[in-house]
A and B are shown apart, each in its own frame.
Chain A
Amino acid sequence: MSEKSIALRVRRVAAQCAQLSQLGVDLDSVRDEDSLYEAGMSSRASVNLMLGLEGEFDIEFPDRLLRRDVFESIASIASAIESLLRS
């Protein structure tokens, strides 16, 4: 699976879990490289996103990847998932 198609699926999960719409933020206006935190994702919402991604990709993020910077953007998440799926 390419990082591009992973990024699309990450975006779909983020639309459901990152709780940006309740802040009036349209995820379509957030580019893959943009900071989700700056867009308004709270640390609590980021946990929801992690759980949603584990379900979507049938993976488990090891504790070493449960870091703020890994979940910074759709691109950084996609790259972490790509490396997990490859290993």
Chain B
Amino acid sequence: MARDAVAEVARVGREVARAAARAVDAEGRFPAETLAALKACGALGAAVPAELGGGGLGLGALAESCTALAQHCASSAMILAMHHIQVASLADHRDGSREIDAYLRRVAAEQRLIASVTSEVGPGGDMRRSVAAIAEDGARFSLKKQATTISYGREADDLLLTVRRHAGASPHDQVLVLLLAGEYVLTPTGAWDALGMRGTCSIPAVVEGGGAPWQVLATPFGDVAAQSMVPVSHVLWASCWLGIAIDAVAIARAKLRGEARARAGTLPPEAARLAETGAKLQLLRSEVSAATADCARMRAAGDRDALASLGTALRMNDLKLSASRLAVDIVGEALGVCGIAGYRNDSPYSIGRHLRDVLSAPLMIQNQRLLETNAGLWMVGKGEA
């Protein structure tokens, strides 16, 4: 079952995403055809528990499908990853809520796409602070939030937002709120014209809407973040970067193979560089798969304490730091192997999009900030785990 689901996403990558990737990048547009194909094979329900009609895939299979898709279109893979992160956060913390169960059933049945609204004008990317707050209005609530970036905000069906619990709450007293299509208005306040990941359409926008009390998650956001959102994000993001690196190395190999065949008997001078890059790619694969396995084990066991432990925070930050650096290195080296053919946008061996896409990796949560956090964790951790 999980095998088939991963294979289906890989097929969508090969047959749909690859053909569209160049136009998606050049025009900075949403990969609509890829998302339509993903919906057609039920991929948006992959992280919904099986008892709610979803794919019930574990983290390992979700990670593999992101890697498979990222080899063809990194923007599409990052959109799928971000959607899975929202679904996993809801599924992990439904805590017996019949309404959230019913909503997740709809996600699987209707293949609803969920976008994340954690950033905000003021706190910026610090998702552990909010300005916007819930306003109680009789049996319903309302809210208004000015977000700095909402990836695929215009294209998503539903939104998952961080806000303060009530008007008098501290900026850190946050909850997650689900807004449903038709019950909110999203007004873009700018465009997304970025170096890479151009298909994610991560626009700034104002969101205004409301809903019923069940749409406010009971679990405090700090716990959802520590137990679900942060570890799942790091695993799925790194899986996307791995996919970009795999494809860049495949292109470099194809380029050299052509030359080696043309001059049979002599290896191209860049072949040794490719071998070095291949070894680095193996390191990246190992780190992503080991960290994914660690995290998947804790999730499968439902071990929320272990997921929220400092040891896990350190482990996941390490994954983010290593994977983002290695992926950027590998893609840069693949460009070196391809030479001018890799530098050109109009060559079959172009590495331009890969390089621009992967350069987002060190910036999605600045590596410098993670290093400072890890420095403290090293001081206090005992290395027993």
Binding site for B on A (CB under 8 A): 25, 35, 37-44, 47-48, 50-51, 54, 60-64, 66-69
Q: Kindly list chain B residues whose C-beta atoms are within 8 Å of the C-beta of A41.
A: 172
Q: List 26 A-B contacts (CB under 8 A).
A: A25-B170, A35-B173, A35-B220, A37-B172, A38-B170, A38-B173, A40-B170, A41-B172, A42-B128, A47-B373, A47-B379, A48-B376, A50-B380, A51-B376, A62-B384, A63-B309, A63-B310, A63-B381, A63-B382, A66-B309, A66-B310, A66-B381, A68-B222, A68-B309, A69-B305, A69-B308
CB distance from A21 to the nearest CB of B (A): 14
Q: Is the CB of B376 within 8 A of A44?
A: yes
Q: Is the CB of A54 within 8 A of B380?
A: yes
Q: Is the CB of A67 within 8 A of B310?
A: yes
- The complex places the Cα of A41 from the Cα of B170 at a distance, in Å, of 11
Interface residues in B, total, Cβ within 8 A: 27
Task: Report how many A-B pairs have Cβ atoms within 8 Å.
Answer: 66
Q: A38-B170, A61-B380 are in contact. List 7 more A-B contacts (CB 8 A).
A: A37-B172, A47-B310, A47-B373, A47-B377, A47-B379, A63-B381, A63-B383
User: CB of B5 within 8 A of chain A?
Assistant: no
Q: Kindly list chain A residues whose C-beta atoms are within 8 Å of the C-beta of B226.
A: 68
Q: Is the CB of A63 within 8 A of B385?
A: yes
CB distance from B123 to the nearest CB of A (A): 12
CB distance from A71 to the nearest CB of B (A): 9
Q: Is the CB of A66 within 8 A of B311?
A: yes
Q: Is the CB of A63 within 8 A of B223?
A: no
Q: Is the CB of B382 within 8 A of A67?
A: no
User: CB of B372 within 8 A of chain A?
Assistant: yes
With A61-B380, A62-B382, A63-B311 as known contacts, state yes or no: A43 contacts B373, CB within 8 Å.
yes
- The complex places the Cα of A18 from the Cα of B220 at a distance, in Å, of 20
- The complex places the Cα of A63 from the Cα of B169 at a distance, in Å, of 32
- The complex places the Cα of A63 from the Cα of B376 at a distance, in Å, of 14
Q: Is the CB of A38 within 8 A of B380?
A: no
User: CB of B188 within 8 A of chain A?
Assistant: no
CB distance from B196 to the nearest CB of A (A): 29
Q: Is the CB of B308 within 8 A of A47?
A: no
Kindly report which residue of chain B lies nearest to residue A39, judged by CB atoms.
B170
- The complex places the Cα of A27 from the Cα of B383 at a distance, in Å, of 32
The CB with the most chain A CB atoms within 10 A, among B171, B310, B372, B382, is that of B310
- The complex places the Cα of A54 from the Cα of B223 at a distance, in Å, of 25
Q: Is the CB of A60 within 8 A of B222?
A: no
CB distance from A20 to the nearest CB of B (A): 10
Q: Kindly list chain B residues whose C-beta atoms are within 8 Å of the C-beta of A44.
A: 372-373, 376
